[in-house]
Amino acid sequence: MAQIALPGIEFMVILQILIIFVSATALLLIDLFIPTAQKRITALLALAATIAALVAGPFSQAGTTMANAIAFGPSTLIINSIILFATAISILFASDAMHKQGIERGETYVLMLLATGGMLLLAQGSSLVTLFMGLELLSIALYVLTAIAYPRIASEEAGLKYLIIGAFGAGFLVFGIALTFGATGSLVLSEIAARIPSSGIERGFFFTGIGLMLVGFGYKVSLVPFHMWTPDVYQGAPTPITAFMSVGSKVAGFIAIIALVQMLGPEAQVIAPVLMALAVLTMLVGSVVAINQTSLKRMLAYSSISHAGFVLLGVLGSTQASGLRAPIFYLAAYTLTNLAAFGVIMSLEGSDERDLTLADLRGLWSRNPLLTAIMGLALLSLAGVPPTVGFLGKFLVVSAVWQAGYGWLALVAALASAFAAFFYVRTLLTMFSGTSDEPRATTSTSSALALLIVAVGIIAVGLMPWSISALALAGS
Amino acid sequence: MFVNQLGFPLLSLLIGTPLVGAVLIGLTASSARSLQRTIAWLFSSINAVLAVYALTALQPIGGYQFVESIDWLADIGLKYAVGLDGINVWMVVLATLLTPLALYAARNESTHQKSFHALILVLSSALIGAFVATDLLLFYVFFELTLVPTALLIATQGTGDAKAAALKFFVYPFVGSVFMLASIAGLVVTHFQQTGLMTFDSVIISGAVLNGTLVMDESLERLLFAGFFLAFAVKTPLWPFHTWMPQAQVATPSNGSVDIAGILLKIGAYGMLRFALPFFPNAAVWAAPAIGILAVISILYSAVIAFGQHDMKSLLSYATISHLGFVMLGIFSQTIEGITGALITMINSGLTTGALFLIVGILAAQRGSRNREDFSGVWLTAPTFGTLTLITVFASIGVPGLNGFVGEFLSMQGAWLAPQLGYGYVSFAVIGIILSAAYLLRMYRGVFMGAAPEEHAIHEPKTSEIAVLSLLVIAMIVIGLYPSIITSVSNASVSELVRSLTASSR
């Protein structure tokens, strides 16, 4: 009888993934023995696992394993670090807000770890199957997390909406993978790159497959026109979860898109017009529609759509010499900034599920100067005002896209940031004008710590960009 | 790191001193009002002394001096690079001298004294940074940074619909400047593609334009120029990009407006002179007639609007727009006379319009109104104040012997001599001077002449305010009689600039 040869596993390559999955499984069991009132312990354990995985990054080994399905390299290191950092901050947020609102459950943290594992799989995946697994794991965990505020209607509705639309997106992805496999006979990215059909019906199948996969990932990172779910889900989900998914799934989804574009190599020119059209639509629709929003979470949802367009500019730029620095730096900047913005909103929310509006920020300066300052920084960074990290991110993607020979896209980007500036600055000034009779907002230690970390990051990375650009550069 | 000839980082000290002051003020208790005043005044005075020192130490030979240059993001060629020459030294001196004067004259009208002082110091730091930056992206950073403290000043302590004014104040210039950011990216990338050097250094880039190692094709040059032009035209402001300005200025607390009118607006004109012209000399010549027309419309249109204003502050902001029309005319003449005239007009506008805003602030604080029809016969009850105001008004109109005349005359002379402009522009611009005499003298007659009212008589202002006004008036007279005080320092730099413009335009 023929032996089934199992491929060898190099554990040091998948060290971070391993830590996250093992601790998620263990935590699921441990959580059973933690009393309901003490779920903060689960949060702390999950945080410890995340930090352990973060620390394990530099000790991981570069290389590929599991029959080329998973890879690790210098650029993976920084992406994984961004994802794990976002998870750690989100766990700190969640342990505070979920408790305050009376919707704390141990499973929250387990699911967050599982979603993180999915994101890491996406970042490290070097085969289409791994990418699909990562995306599905991430999505399923997020469907549940979105709806975890049971019995709140808004949360249930958001979860269901996310599930249906997410399943739709996954369908595109699977069809795309199937077509690509059919055209090239391989699922491993490096092998596909070598076998891109140069003519005939296979070439048509291949690029149709690539296009369908783009649609699948496009849903995840909310590119227009696949963005419809975003505002509803961001608004309905508990705020710490919104913070988590707004950064984590976007970073992971974009890494998958970048992997596809890198795989195409020079052939990326074929899909460049599609990417350009998506980028233009995403930037403009996101920033124009955001102007009309009064709910802060919906506004930030449209803002995150618009930022996805900017990242896509960086991806387009990465097809040329400037490499991955621009999109990776932009994603890092976006992660820091969005975490800060959602963190402040979460701190301002009461114990009920009422959605905060622009008017609730009025006179915040007189109530809570620290939260105002952090939110102010976040808004300036989102708008791309120096010396925040958002400014450099924006400049890097704009110059990358110009370097790639798409100067006109830089002008569209300028136009989109012009629209976006309006609602960011309006929000900023609302906090500083007028006074408010509401009681002083209080912030718990854990979210205050998390907020301080991201606020310092916004300024420090903005002033000292080499701190992460050296890492990003190493990956190009 | 490159160390300058002084052996210490003079320019970084100029940028950093107000910031340190602002941080210290931030650490004081809200109730320690006199401490906050002292800190603000102390740090801005130190800065003024440093600026005057820089002025005296500067050699009148052209080129940047006191240069500091440190890598910021080395792998894309980004640097913290600052330098001073005969042109921006005047902007720095103006900015640093006006700040303590404005703070000294500040009345206790504000309930937000702590944030007022801290924000003014941050603003002053950002302004100085924008004037001394020689790295293009560093300039952009400071250029944008000036928006934040000013918008917060307007939003927290402005009058009327302060939030809307602050929003306009921030968003309009910001929209202009994001297009400049795209242009900066385009310029730097084009330079990189042609020379293989990734840099934001304005000296290197304009040098490459001059010696032909950087050649942009016509449409690209015009496109990139348009981005810079848009940012600076909104900031200046040039008609029709001016609509944000009067509303913002009216809503500003009067103390802050000294700074805003005096200096902030000059960054637009300064950027045009320092960056847009040397980078895109051909596009600048190509666009000069159109920009000249906008400048003339600016001069005439705002003068006419100013004539119809009852609110004196609003009147003054239109008067400022009118002055800046002359600055633009001078700059785009691209002649030594025109650019020198533009430089002097910028300084004048800082001094005279700054003084006029201060005067309106004093009047408004005593009477509780800025409507010019609420006043009459101030001269009778406050003769010293009246005299100082009269001299300032004359300076603003451009009466010979005072500073305004020198600047406007030189700007128009430059425009007349310039082949791309010519006497047609000047003959219209000169009408603006007549109109400015009309609206300013009418305001003066109504407010200071006539019979003193029974009630609400205006008293002489505080000694501190008289002292500040006197200093400004002395400066106006000195510049009017000896304009070579300015030109002796600026000449070498201006003629170097004009030489390079003439040489590099094909």
User: Does A310 contact chain B (CB < 8 Å)?
Assistant: no
pLDDT in tens, A214-230: 999 999 999 989 998 99
What average pLDDT does range B369-374 have in this prediction?
78
Residues of B in contact with A404 (CB under 8 A): none
Burial call A391-418: b when 16+ CB within 10 Å, e when fewer: bbbbbbbbbbbbbbebbebbbbbbbbbb
Percent of chain B with pLDDT over 70: 94
Domain count for chain B: 1
Report the sign of the C-alpha dihedral through residues A214, A216, A218, A224, in that order: positive
Q: Work out the pLDDT band at A439, boundaries 50, 70, 90.
A: low
Q: Is residue A14 classed as helix, strand or coil in its secondary structure?
A: coil
Domain assignment of residue B143, yes or no: no
User: Does B167 contact chain A (CB < 8 Å)?
Assistant: yes
What average pLDDT does range B167-187 have in this prediction?
88
Q: Could you tell me which chain B residue has the CA closest to the CA of A474?
A: B75
Domain assignment of residue B346, yes or no: yes
Residues ≥6 apart with Cβ < 8 Å to B201: B77, B79, B81, B134, B135, B136
Residue the block writes with tokens 């020192």: B53
Give the span between the Cα atoms of B378 and B375, in whole angstroms: 7
Question: Please, are residues B138 and B172 in contact by the beta-carbon 8 Å criterion?
Answer: no
Domain assignment of residue B423, yes or no: yes
> Which tokens go with B151?
């918008």
Domain of B390, in residue numbers:
288-506
Residue A26 has pLDDT above 90, yes or no: yes
Q: Is residue B70 classed as helix, strand or coil in its secondary structure?
A: strand
Domain assignment of residue B484, yes or no: yes
CB contact under 8 A, A414 and B179: yes
Domain assignment of residue B351, yes or no: yes
Q: Which contiguous run of DSSP H or E holds residue B65?
A: strand B65-73
Give the span between the Cα atoms of B425 and B402, in whole angstroms: 24
Q: Which residue has the higher pLDDT, B371 or A189?
A: A189
pLDDT of residue B109: 55
- Nearest Cα neighbor of B72 from A386, A256, A31 is A386
Distance from CA of B156 to the nearest CA of A (A): 5
Residues of A in contact with B74 (CB under 8 A): 466
Q: Could you tell me which chain B residue has the CA closest to the CA of A363?
A: B156
Residues of B in contact with A422 (CB under 8 A): 167, 171
Q: Could you tell me which chain B residue has the CA closest to the CA of A471?
A: B75
User: Does A335 contact chain B (CB < 8 Å)?
Assistant: no
Distance from CA of B141 to the nearest CA of A (A): 5
Q: Work out the pLDDT band at A150, boundaries 50, 70, 90.
A: confident
Four-point Cα dihedral A30, A32, A37, A41, nearest 10: 10
Q: Is residue A110 classed as helix, strand or coil in its secondary structure?
A: helix
Of these ranges, A71-75, B290-294, B412-416, B444-448, the one predicted with the greatest mean pLDDT is B290-294
Residues ≥6 apart with Cβ < 8 Å to B298: B238, B239, B242, B321, B322, B324, B325, B328
Domain assignment of residue B387, yes or no: yes
Query: How would you classify residue B163: left for phi > 0, otherwise alpha for psi between -120 and 50, otherwise beta?
Result: alpha
The DSSP symbol for A266 reads G
Q: Work out the pLDDT band at A338, boundaries 50, 70, 90.
A: very high
Domain assignment of residue B99, yes or no: no
CB contact under 8 A, B181 and A395: yes
Domain assignment of residue B265, yes or no: no
Nearest residue, CB atoms, B145 vs list A387, A411, A425: A387
Residue A474 has pLDDT above 50, yes or no: no
pLDDT of residue B263: 65
Q: Which residues pair with B371 in a beta bridge?
A: B311
- Nearest Cα neighbor of B83 from B68, B72, B71, B97 is B68
pLDDT in tens, B474-506: 988 898 888 888 888 888 888 888 888 877 765
> Which tokens go with A52?
């352990």
Report the sign of the C-alpha dihedral through residues A285, A288, A289, A294, in that order: positive
What average pLDDT does range B330-348 have in this prediction?
88
Distance from CA of A431 to the nearest CA of B (A): 9
Residues of B in contact with A425 (CB under 8 A): 151, 167, 170-171, 174
Distance from CA of A266 to the nearest CA of B (A): 20
User: Does A181 contact chain B (CB < 8 Å)?
Assistant: no
Give the CB-side neighbour count of residue A143, counting CA atoms within 13 A: 13
- Nearest Cα neighbor of A46 from A121, A124, A108, A127 is A108
Residues of B in contact with A391 (CB under 8 A): 141, 144
- Nearest Cα neighbor of A84 from A106, A126, A43, A56 is A56
Q: How far is CA A200 from the centre of its chain?
A: 37
Bridge-based pairing state of the strands A63-65 and B78-84: unpaired
- Nearest Cα neighbor of A346 from A384, A375, A369, A377 is A375
CB contact under 8 A, B178 and A421: yes
